[in-house]
Amino acid sequence: MKNSINDVNLPKKKSAEEISRAKSIVNILKEPVVVVDEDGSIIQANSEFYSTFQLQRKEGFEVGLRDIPFFQELNEVLENKQLRKQGIIDLKISLELPNEVKKNFLVNAGLLDPQGNSSDSILISFNEVNVKPIGKRNEKNDLQEIYEIFSQAPAIISVLRGPNHVFELANENYLQLIGNRSIIGKPVREALPEVENQGFFEILDNVYNSGETYTGSEVAIKLYVGKQELKNSFVDFVYQPILNDLNEVSGIFVHAVDVTEKVTARKKLEDSENELRKLIDTVPAIIWITRPDGQNHYLNKNWFEYSGQTESESADFGWLKAVHPDDEKRVRETFMKANINKEDFTISFRLRNWEGTYRWVLDSGSPNYSADGEYEGMVGTVVDVHEEKVKEQLIKEKEHRIRSVIEEADVATALYTGREMKIEIANDAMIELWGKDHSVVGKTLREALPELEGQPFHGLLQGVYETGETYWGKEDPADLLIDNKLQTGFFNFTYKALRDERGEIYGILNMAMDVTETVKSRELLKESESRFKQLADLMPEKVANTDAHGNFIYFNQGWLDYTGFTGEELIGKGWTNFIHPNEKEEYLKSWRNSLDSGKDFEMEFRYLNKKNRYKWHLSRAEAIKDESGNIQMWICTATEIQKIKLEEKRKEDFLKMVSHELKTPITSIKGYVQLLLSLLKKEKEEEISGKPYEMYLERVDHQINRLTRLISEMLDLSRIEKNKLDLQKETFNLNNLIIETVQDINYTNTGHNIHITEDYNCNVYGDKDRIGQVLINLVTNAVKYSPFNPEIEVKINKVRDNKVSVSVTDFGIGIRKENQKKIFKRFYRVDGNNEETYSGFGIGLYLANEIIQRHSGSLKVKSEMDEGSVFTFTLYEALEV
């Protein structure tokens, strides 16, 4: 049955223009298209419209859509003014056509004149679709239809038929994938033999047999694209079974998408990430990445291996806990500052390793920006620099030590580095020695001291630098420009090579001492020495010269003449070997004493002459000292006193003889005088009264006493010389002895007042007569040498260490300092004293001293010229009273 279009409504009058526009649009479109006015009347429709909907075209007037029953649904939509205005897009409608054919259409409609000025005519197009819902496909559906739908799709599509999967269909993309081979009608195994063993055929078999859809994702497949060229591709694919009417699988719909690019891109990314990570982990450094707020984002494997921290321990700022507490603040601040300012930083600090040991590390970081320039935080490395740091510290310390040693050294010291001898350090003493200022430091020696050019020093330095052998300069002359004047100085100095830890020479240490003064004064000394020698040779005396230690270095002509040897021979043979053995020991002792004390030496001894005879000499030596009192040398003189000695001997022998000869008669005279005196005292007769017998006799007695004393002194003298002075020791009261002796003297010396002060009373153990003799000597001397002052004091005092002292004080003529030692020598008498007034032999004090010394005591004098003298002897107290 055909729908007839009745003239129910007359068409509204349309403009001819509108109709012709509708007509031309409608006629160029291939799908069924109709233009209807606002009432639904058909203005124009193309032939496809009429044929599809099996309508008959009626010329002259148009029917409305509402008149056609199967457009009912569409009409209702179009009556909605709003929808009509908006237009209809892809409205899906099913139409039951007159021959009971049900067709599905996608309807699109839009106003012919969207502005709607002239009309509300609408253009409606119908697209027939026939899509089954996704799921198992029914063979009933036209494959051609499916193919058409998908042919232009970006997907890869094919249809396989039967259990052998014979290609029935394959779209452009599919053909491209397999290199445009002709496959239609071929089973897959034949069409794509290279796919065998890649698993696909098995899956196809499985889908075919089970009817289950198979979905694969990013599956690799190798296919020939050229003749021999196998290409790797990745595909996402669906194998969907196609069912026939009996619901049996008759084929497989293959739908795939080539994802090779995506997969390879991702794989590449993954690979490169893996590579990077591997790289980062194998770099022998700790690598870290932080977030913009400074928090830890990433630490490589090395960090965890080094620090022993866990991921959670080092999270945020946990890594700071491994930093040495003393460095932590500095590290945190440096890092945060760099992070805030987005700038590079480098810092070294101590970092605790997993063992708990702190090691020096160097941490450097840089800001990290994303591709679009956004700050992402810092990235950096931490490298173990412990050895270097420790070495560096050691070197620093060593350098510091060297520097401070050099700078504080009294000795002029400088350090030169490199072959060019750059002055690295020069202390004040060295700069002063050079006559320069501190600006020389940092220059080379050539620049700093150009005046050294042509002098041996540069060559010496280079030599030391090359060989490493120290050079010792001894009084080497150097010309230095000081105060704009080239001055020659003499220097003791060393050039010592300095080596680094590898043992390589890197510099030279120069220490120098200005010995110009010494050299010059020695030259002067040499000059004066030679003058002295000339002079000494002219002297008839024997003159010799030793160094400060007493080694003879010179003998004058007098010595050479006397001994018959040359100076060298005398030095070689040992000068002392010519001294008489009797005096040699004492000589050595006394000479050593002088050498040690610097005191003058004086001694009499015999010396062997060239005729092998010993001759007496008075030998003197005097030290020559420098300004600061150091002994420079000794000048020794020897005067032959052989004749004097002989005379002395004769005098001695004579005295010995005289005293012996005199003593006996005097003793007997004294006896008789005393006898006579006592007779006289008993018988006081008139006949002798008025005659001065007694007085004369007393004077005789007095003179005899003097003579007796003199004689016994002389005897004592020779006894002492023969070492035969015997002492008769006993314990006696010293006070009593003094009182008695003074009384005796008072007896005969009425002109003086001898006053005794006894501050102490004691006994001594000794020869009473000899001690008395000493006392007599001192008191009679006091009387004798104080003719104008009659006061004499004798004092007994306690001295420490169980000693007692007896002093005799007079207020007489006194003794000059230089004579105070000499008066204790035998026969010494102070010259100039009136020989008449002060008669004597000069042996009294000698004896007194000998006697006191033999009692382990001492005799001393204190005296001032014209004021008087005090002679004091000290003795040990007797232990038992």
Which residues sit at the interface with ligand ADP, rule CB under 6 A? 781-782, 785, 810, 812-815, 823, 828-830, 833, 840-846, 869
CA R_g for the chain: 73
Minimal distance in Å, beta carbon 851 to ligand ADP? 13
Choice between 790 and 840, CB closer to ligand ADP: 840
CA distance 852 to 859: 7
Choice between 489 and 812, CB closer to ligand ADP: 812
SS3 614: strand
Is 41:62 a contact under the CB 8 Å cutoff?
Answer: yes
Minimal distance in Å, beta carbon 832 to ligand ADP? 9
Paired sense of beta strands 552-555 and 868-876, if any: unpaired
Minimal distance in Å, beta carbon 691 to ligand ADP? 35
> DSSP string spanning 4-15?
-----SPPPP--
Long-range contacts of 89-98 (CB under 8 A, 24+ apart): 92/129, 95/53, 95/70, 95/71, 96/70, 97/53, 97/54, 97/70, 98/1, 98/2, 98/3, 98/54, 98/70
CA distance 872 to 643: 36
Helices and strands in the chain: count of H runs, count of E runs: 25, 33
Tokens of 680: 């006289």
Is 508:495 a contact under the CB 8 Å cutoff?
Answer: yes
Minimal distance in Å, beta carbon 794 to ligand ADP? 13
Minimal distance in Å, beta carbon 646 to ligand ADP? 23
Residue nearest to ligand ADP (CB): 840
Minimal distance in Å, beta carbon 834 to ligand ADP? 10
Closest CA to 693 of 709, 708, 679, 713: 679
Choice between 766 and 812, CB closer to ligand ADP: 812
Tokens of 81: 């003014």
Minimal distance in Å, beta carbon 673 to ligand ADP? 24
Choice between 277 and 821, CB closer to ligand ADP: 821
Choice between 686 and 831, CB closer to ligand ADP: 831
Half-sphere exposure of 642 (CA within 13 A, CB side): 8
Minimal distance in Å, beta carbon 830 to ligand ADP? 3
φ, ψ (nearest 5 deg) of residue 231: -115, 135
CA distance 776 to 744: 9
Choice between 170 and 823, CB closer to ligand ADP: 823
Choice between 332 and 816, CB closer to ligand ADP: 816
Choice between 233 and 780, CB closer to ligand ADP: 780
Choice between 166 and 823, CB closer to ligand ADP: 823
CA distance 344 to 335: 9
Choice between 511 and 774, CB closer to ligand ADP: 774
Question: What value, to the nearest 5°, has the Cα angle with vertex 588 and ends 582 and 589?
Answer: 100
Is 130:104 a contact under the CB 8 Å cutoff?
Answer: yes
Choice between 358 and 838, CB closer to ligand ADP: 838
Minimal distance in Å, beta carbon 859 to ligand ADP? 11
Amino acid letter, residue 719? R
CA distance 14 to 41: 11
All residues at 6 or more sequence positions from 2 whose CB lies less than 8 Å from its CB, including other chains: 54, 55, 56, 98
Minimal distance in Å, beta carbon 827 to ligand ADP? 8
CA distance 308 to 327: 19
Minimal distance in Å, beta carbon 738 to ligand ADP? 17
CA distance 88 to 118: 21
Choice between 558 and 812, CB closer to ligand ADP: 812
Closest CA to 52 of 14, 98, 91: 98
Choice between 546 and 872, CB closer to ligand ADP: 872
Minimal distance in Å, beta carbon 880 to ligand ADP? 34
Minimal distance in Å, beta carbon 783 to ligand ADP? 8
First to last CA, the chain: 188
Choice between 68 and 714, CB closer to ligand ADP: 714
Minimal distance in Å, beta carbon 711 to ligand ADP? 14
